[in-house]
């Protein structure tokens, strides 16, 4: 059985390290986005929110690459993808509502409610993302 380290550094191995780094960075960025908003630091909030997008893209890219290395059972995978795709669509809805709030077109509650719904889907996508690995098996 290969050691965890060899799994992480072997060039032919699945990109687990990249996937976990990008997923962890996405969650960290989202926490910082919310903290900056809570403190009323609008510029920082906006910069971090926009910076989250390429990091999220990286996470999706490496998570998607897992398909070549793992067999995920159909139903759990569908459940996970429902949450993950909804969260990805919602990030743009939240960004749009943030812009609308910035312009003074909608109240802060409108943007923050959507943001919390989005974060709920991120949580569900993360939990079910871990679950599909537990019920799946390497190819």
Regarding 45 and contact with ligand HEM (CB under 6 A), the answer is yes
47-70: buried (b, 16+ CB within 10 Å) or exposed (e) per residue? ebbeebeebbebbbebbeebeeee
From candidates 14, 23, 26, 49, binder to ligand HEM by CB under 6 A: 49
CA separation, residue 10 to residues 6, 17, 67 (Å): 5, 11, 18
Of residues 80, 78, 89, the one with CA closest to residue 117: 89
Residue 13 DSSP class? S
Instruction: Give the CB-nearest residue to ligand HEM.
Output: 98
Indicate the residue among 62 and 118 with the shorter CB distance to ligand HEM.
Answer: 118
Task: Pick out residues in 67-126 that bind ligand HEM (CB under 6 A).
Answer: 91, 94-95, 98-99, 101-102, 108, 111-112, 115, 118
Please give the C-alpha separations between residue 130 and each of 51, 56, 123, in angstroms, as whole numbers.
Answer: 24, 17, 11
- CB nearer to ligand HEM: give 45 or 80: 45
- How far apart are alpha carbons 108 and 49 in whole angstroms? 16
- The site that binds ligand HEM (CB under 6 A) totals a number of residues, namely 23
Instruction: State the CB neighbour count (10 A cutoff) for residue 17.
Output: 13
Interface mask toward ligand HEM for 22-41; x: CB under 6 A: --------x--xx--xx-x-
Name the minimum Å distance from CB 60 to ligand HEM.
Answer: 14
Residues that bind ligand HEM (CB under 6 A): 30, 33-34, 37-38, 40, 42, 45-46, 49, 52, 91, 94-95, 98-99, 101-102, 108, 111-112, 115, 118
């Amino acid at each position: 059985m290969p050691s965890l380290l060899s799994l992480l550094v072997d060039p032919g191995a699945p990109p687990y390290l990249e996937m976990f780094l990008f997923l962890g960075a996405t969650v960290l960025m989202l926490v910082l986005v919310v903290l900056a908003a809570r403190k009323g630091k609008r510029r920082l909030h906006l910069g971090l929110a926009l910076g989250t997008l390429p990091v999220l893209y990286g996470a999706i890219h490496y998570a998607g690459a897992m398909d070549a290395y793992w067999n995920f059972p159909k139903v759990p995978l569908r459940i996970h993808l429902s949450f993950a795709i909804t969260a990805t669509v919602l990030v743009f809805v939240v960004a749009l509502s943030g812009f609308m709030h910035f312009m003074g077109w909608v109240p802060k509650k409108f943007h923050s409610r959507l943001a919390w719904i989005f974060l709920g889907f991120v949580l569900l996508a993360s939990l079910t993302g871990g679950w599909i690995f537990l019920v799946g098996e390497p190819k």
